[in-house]
Amino acid sequence: MDWIYIGNFIQASVRAATPLVFGSLGVVIAERSGTRHISNEGTMLLAALTGVIGTKYFGNMAFGVLFSLVIGAVCGLILAIMMIWLPSNQTIVGIGFNMTMVGVTSYILRLGGDMLRSPVPAPAVKVLRFSLFDVFAIASALLVWFFLFRTGPGLKLRSVGENAMAADAAGINVIKTRTIAMVIACMFSSLGGMALSLSWVHVFTDNLTMGRGFIAMAAVYFGKWNPLLTTLAAFMFGGAEALALRSQALSATISSYYFLMIPYVLTLIVVAISGRMKGPQDTGKSYIRQ
Amino acid sequence: MKKTLSLVIVITVLLSIVLTGCSSSTEQEAPDAKGPGGTSAVTSSEETKALKIGSMFNNPDPANQGGWDISQYKGMKALEDDYGWTVSIAEAIAYPQVEEMVVSYIDKDYDIVVFPDNGMIETWQDMYPKYSDTYFIMISSTATVPDNATNTTVYQADQFTYGSIAGIVMANMTESKKVGLIGGSPIGSVKYQFSGIIEACKAIDPEIEVSIYFAGDWSDTARHMELTNIMIEDGVDTFFAMTGAGDKGVYEAAAAAGAKVIGYATDMYEYAPNAIATSVLFDFASLYAQIGQDVMAGTIEQKVYPLGIDYMKLADFRGSVDADVEAAINDYVEKFRTGDFKVDYVIHEDILN
């Protein structure tokens, strides 16, 4: 094993982890405010497509990212209306949203034809060997941690997720706080989708996310809803995926599936050893003001 | 506010149901295409002029993703123009859902159901004995037809020969003497095909190293890209991928590194002009045209039709390799076709490990 191999491995791990980091930060923000963000997968998938659409339409990746962030925010608002305002069962809405997005993105892909199927240019700007998405993912983790644990609005957001009724009694607008949190959460999830389509594979294909939104959720549970621990967990999962693919070269007599299941076995193990997961008390519970 | 939103959602759902209903009734008004009665739906040329053919693909978007699917999709669709048949193709059908899909075709009086890939063999084996009024076509590299079958035909793709041609191309193209193979999942047909590539490379230059990786999935573009990158790091400069929609990850990684890919089954140049050197074509257009002719003439037989070297050829190189390399490849392929260049028939069972 040489330094080049190690460098390539680290780079592959970061590539695989970046979408998970953004996705998991979205889940942290939503669930810290009391809203279950199962729709993370669907939001990432939609953003992966809209990022490509925006980049092609405006001819510039920065505008593509902005366009996709706006779509992500709109998505967050729609989800907030369904899960917070109406309010509907958050788990069912999340599952339904994910399934709908698989169909919607595939349908749009077909409407877009060859224009959408063709690749987008790789990001030109790199920091060392990492893309701006990779760098911004780490910066985002620090920012989200600072916001949640070192600012007043962050404290309000967490209090809404821990005990909505008490927060309401203290004068915090629960519905408004959760709505804003959901919008921001979906924008982070969108960055996760774009990190996949724009920064990693440079193309959109059907169901591109392939369950990475759910792995991001597992990272959140392993990281106990803490942005920094969650980011660490996302990097661990990214590293496990990179290792799983590289491990196939180690032996011709061992089934490739043995190596490919490493990230998922790791997920099970870390969830098992991380003990009882005590998330924000009111996560997943609808709040109806009495 | 809540009531208005709920009302909007209910109206949207109701509209969806009504519109779906309308589209169903339109489909039912299509010409009655039920085949003639009796044991087979495809036995009389007089009564098979408006046959209905149903098929389904495991991957999404078979018209544009994965060479095997694209080639078959186009071949089947050509039957609409050639014979005025109705050809319905479902996509993204998971293997456990294939039976349900086939039953829905049968319920709508479809005459022929085509199973286009190896992963559907078990469902095909279960179904054709149960539905004698429907004709079943299986495209596979491992299926066989029992003597008493009256309503099924198998077209058996010779994947070893196909792999041998791909191997000839790769062995002549590689400068690093390292070629890379990427499979979606380790299934039987992959074993035959990759064995052909390994043996052809060995026959041309025993020093060539063949790396094999599986994505464990046919569609995960990111994972396919990473596997390609791993092999590029190892010096591989020529790739072949037997996979589905994930192939775009291979093309992207190869194009970025200046490596070349041999397209699978379809001329993939238009899908990845920067990566594709040539493609080894599987001529499903001719196959389906032949099926159309046999059905119309009532001469289709319940047996295994081999799809050998006559159904395989190289796509245009479009200047992707030097003229002398292209000439050498064409020469080897021609000699392989005539039997002057031989590839040992060795199946590497360990590929599927």
Q: Is residue A281 part of a domain?
A: no
Q: What residue segments make up the domains of chain B, in order of their start?
A: 2-18+159-282+311-352, 21-158+284-310
- Common-topology check for domains B2-18+159-282+311-352 and B21-158+284-310: yes
| ω into A87 cis (within 30 of 0) | yes
Report residue B307: phi and psi, to 5°.
-105, 90
Position A287 in a domain: no
Q: Is pLDDT of B331 > 80?
A: yes
- Residue B42's pLDDT is what? 56
Q: What is the mean pLDDT of chain A?
A: 92
B188: pLDDT strictly greater than 90? no
Cross-chain Cβ contact A260/B214 below 8 Å: yes
* pLDDT higher than threshold 50 for residue B345: yes
- Inform me whether the C-beta atom of residue B5 falls under 8 Å from chain A C-beta atoms: yes
Residue B25 has pLDDT above 80, yes or no: no
Q: How far apart are CA B257 and CA B231, in angstroms?
A: 11
Between B243 and A273, the more confident residue is B243
Of A266-275, B276-285, B320-329, the one with minimum mean pLDDT is: A266-275
Residue pLDDT, tens place only, B84-100: 899 999 998 999 999 99
- For residue A205, give the nearest of B186, B234, B245 by CB distance: B245
B225 chain-A contacts, CB cut-off 8 A: 200-201
How would residue A278 be classed by pLDDT, with cut points 50, 70 and 90? confident
**Residue A282 belongs to some domain of the structure:** no
Q: Is the pLDDT of residue B37 over 50?
A: no
Residue numbers in A near B246 (CB within 8 A) = 205
- The answer to whether B248 contacts A205, with C-beta atoms less than 8 Å apart, is yes
pLDDT tens digit sequence for B55-68? 999 888 899 888 99
Which of A8, A202, A248 has its CB closest to that of B233?
A: A8
CATH of the domain at A196: 1.10.3470
Query: Among B23-32, B171-180, B309-318, which is the least confidently predicted range?
Result: B23-32
Task: Compare A246 and A151 and report the one with higher pLDDT.
Answer: A151
A284 is a domain residue:
no
Of B64, B186, B225, Cβ closest to residue A256: B186
CA distance B296 to B83: 9
What number is the average pLDDT over the span B295-305?
Answer: 88
- Give the range of the structural domain holding residue A20, as residue numbers without chain letter: 2-273
Taking one residue from A and the other from B, the number of pairs with CB-CB distance under 8 angstroms is 96
Question: What's the whole-number mean pLDDT along residues B287-299?
Answer: 87
Percentage, residues of chain A above pLDDT 90: 76
pLDDT at B23 over 70: no
User: What pLDDT, on the 0 to 100 scale, is given for residue A1?
Assistant: 60
For residue B253, what is the nearest residue in chain A, using CA coordinates?
Answer: A201
Give per-residue pLDDT as tens, B192-220. Answer: 999 999 999 999 999 999 999 999 888 89
B187 contacts on A by Cβ (under 8 Å): none
Gap between the Cα atoms of A30 and A76, Å rounded: 10
Of chain A residues 61-100, which have a CB less than 8 A from chain B? 81, 85-86
Domain membership of residue A44 (yes or no) is yes
Spatial distance between the Cα atoms of B24 and B28, rounded to a whole number of angstroms:
6
- Dihedral of CA B192/B198/B201/B203: which sign? negative
Summarize pLDDT for B126-157 with one digit per residue, the tens: 999 999 999 999 998 778 888 788 899 999 99
Question: Is the ipTM here above 0.85?
Answer: yes
* Whether residue B307 has pLDDT greater than 70: yes
CATH 3.90.1570.10 fits B21-158+284-310, yes or no: no
Q: Residue B17: what pLDDT?
A: 42
**CATH T-level assignment (fold) for domain B2-18+159-282+311-352:** Rossmann fold (3.40.50)
| Strand pairing class (A130-131; B135-140) | unpaired
Q: Residues 138 to 177 of B: which have CB under 8 A from any A CB? A: none
pLDDT in tens, B252-291: 999 999 999 999 999 999 999 999 999 999 999 899 988 8
Q: Which of A213, A187, A202 is closest to A61 using CA atoms?
A: A202
The CA distance from B196 to B199, in Å, is 5
Mean pLDDT of chain B: 86
Q: What is the pLDDT of residues A162-178, one digit of tens each?
A: 999 999 999 999 999 99
Domain tally for chain A? 1
- Residue A256 above 80 pLDDT? no
pLDDT at B183 over 70: yes
Per-residue pLDDT at B149:
85
Do A122 and B230 lie within an 8 Å CB cutoff? no
**Residue of A131, A256, A258, A289 to mutate, interface with B, max B Cβ within 10 Å:** A256
Query: Is A290 among the domain residues?
Result: no
Whether A145 maps to a domain, the answer reads: yes
The residue-averaged pLDDT of A248-269 equals 78
Position with higher pLDDT, B1 vs A251: A251
Give the CA dihedral B70, B74, B75, B80, nearest 10 degrees.
150
H runs (alpha helix) in B29-153:
67-83, 98-107, 121-127
Write the pLDDT tens digit of every residue in A84-114: 999 999 999 999 999 999 999 999 999 998 8
> In the predicted model, is pLDDT for residue B40 greater than 70?
no
| Predicted pLDDT at B177 | 97
Would the pTM count as exceeding 0.80?
yes
